[in-house]
């Protein structure tokens, strides 16, 4: 699409057709696989293990969780999911929940189109703007993730608390039509985990006891330490059951692969002072790291 539509009427005259995030990711993933393109550039050592598992989960339309220890590229993998999104998608200008101009889900979006018709303004979102993440901590609240009722808005507009337009949306609804990731999921308080249940199954949300029917279109991805994930009580069972794919990450299986990763991530450009490390030294460092990870004498925490 050479010229991007600026109004709903212009958008209707283009070849654009609405599709779900999962269908979009699946189609782009299939194209990359057919063209034998690298799915996750810069990720070393996962070609036969983690990456095929992620691809299978995405092809199946699953929400998934990456289970692994620190330094296993979990966050990098999640952030690179944006490479599987379309370059740009249209949204109704001014929408807090990225309403699809052809099928708005919010009361505001439906009213906007009813009032403006084909003149309703449209703007375009790129992949990075469609990805959000949150690191779980005990102080994360329902308001942070889902939203809360705005009493000032309700009073000034003379609306009841049951009206969807009095809601100040949290980060998850604002990522509608995108990808939302939660790092260290077990650190999320159980009452907050309960709030995610409907999102993962029914794709709707409840705020302060008021059911808000929003047909959110999202892919959810999570990360966690495998020990925390399997400990009874860390994650409530219904939430664990709703995460369709569990994928184990791992450290590099060989010192040679580990050395490649270290060389890739190391800061060696120091201006006029060259840094020289022999291949033998690189491999020795990695062998020591591998031995330390397997040793009972080293505190693994």
Largest CA distance in the chain: 73
pLDDT over 70 percentage in the chain: 96
Kindly state whether residues 118 and 260 are assigned to the same domain.
Answer: no
Asked whether residue 190 falls in the same domain as residue 260, the answer is no
Mean pLDDT of 265-291: 85
- Calculate mean pLDDT across residues 200-229: 82
Q: pLDDT band for position 8 (50/70/90)?
A: very high
In a domain, 264, yes or no: yes
Same structural domain for residues 116 and 68? Answer: yes
Residue 301 counted as domain residue: no
CATH number, domain with residue 194: 3.40.50.300
80 and 164 in one domain?
A: yes
- Let me know if residue 1 belongs to a domain: no
Q: Which of 232, 248, 264 is the last residue of a domain?
A: 248
Neighbours of 261 (CB within 10 A): 18
Residues 138 and 275 reside in one and the same domain: no
Q: Domain of residue 164: give its range.
A: 8-248
200 neighbors 63 (Cβ within 8 angstroms):
yes
- Least trusted range by pLDDT, from 76-80, 152-156, 169-173, 267-271: 267-271
Mean pLDDT of the chain: 90
In a domain, 2, yes or no: no
How many residues belong to the chain? 301
Pairwise CA distance, residues 197 & 189, whole Å: 13
The answer to whether the pTM exceeds 0.85 is: yes
Both 102 and 229 in one domain: the answer is yes
- For residue 106, is it within any domain? yes
Last residue of a domain, one of 248, 266, 282: 248
pLDDT tens digits along 138-161: 889 988 998 888 888 888 888 877
In this predicted structure, which of 137-141, 255-259, 290-294, 296-300 has the lowest mean pLDDT? Answer: 296-300
Task: Classify residue 178: in a domain, yes or no.
Answer: yes
Tokens found for residue 229: 């994930």
H/E stretch holding 31: helix 21-34
In a domain, 300, yes or no: no
Separation in Å, CA 112 to CA 36, 103, 119: 43, 12, 10
Any idea what the Cα angle at residue 223 is, between residues 68 and 200, rounded to 5°? 140
Is residue 3, in this structure, part of any structural domain at all? no
Check whether 136 has a pLDDT greater than 50. Answer: yes
Tell whether the model's pLDDT for residue 1 goes beyond 60.
no
Number of domains in the chain: 2
């Amino acid at each position: 699409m050479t010229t991007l539509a600026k109004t709903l009427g212009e958008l209707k005259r283009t070849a654009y057709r609405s599709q779900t995030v999962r269908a979009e990711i699946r189609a782009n993933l299939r194209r990359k696989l057919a063209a034998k393109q690298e799915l996750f550039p810069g990720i070393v050592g996962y070609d036969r293990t983690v990456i095929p598992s992620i691809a299978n989960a995405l092809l199946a339309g699953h929400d998934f969780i990456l289970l692994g220890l620190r330094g296993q590229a979990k966050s990098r993998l999640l952030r690179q999911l944006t490479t599987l999104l379309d370059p740009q998608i249209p949204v109704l200008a001014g929408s807090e929940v990225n309403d699809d101009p052809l099928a708005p889900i919010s009361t505001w979006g439906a009213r906007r189109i009813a009032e403006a018709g084909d003149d309703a303004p449209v703007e375009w979102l790129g992949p990075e703007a469609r990805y959000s993440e949150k690191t779980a901590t005990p102080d994360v609240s329902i308001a942070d993730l889902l939203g809360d009722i705005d009493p000032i808005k309700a009073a000034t507009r003379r609306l009841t608390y049951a009206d969807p337009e009095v809601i100040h949306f949290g980060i998850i609804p604002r990522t509608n039509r995108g990808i939302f990731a939660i790092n260290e999921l077990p650190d999320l308080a159980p009452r907050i985990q309960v709030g995610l249940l409907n999102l993962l199954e029914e794709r709707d949300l409840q705020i302060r006891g008021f059911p808000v029917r929003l047909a959110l279109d999202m892919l959810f991805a999570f990360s966690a330490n495998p020990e925390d994930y399997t400990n009874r009580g860390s994650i409530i069972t219904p939430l664990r059951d709703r995460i369709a794919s569990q994928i184990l990450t791992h450290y590099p299986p060989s010192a040679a692969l580990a050395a490649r990763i270290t060389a890739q991530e190391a800061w060696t450009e120091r201006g006029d002072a060259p840094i020289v490390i022999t291949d033998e030294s690189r491999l020795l460092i990695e062998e020591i790291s591998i031995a330390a990870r397997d040793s009972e004498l080293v505190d693994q925490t």
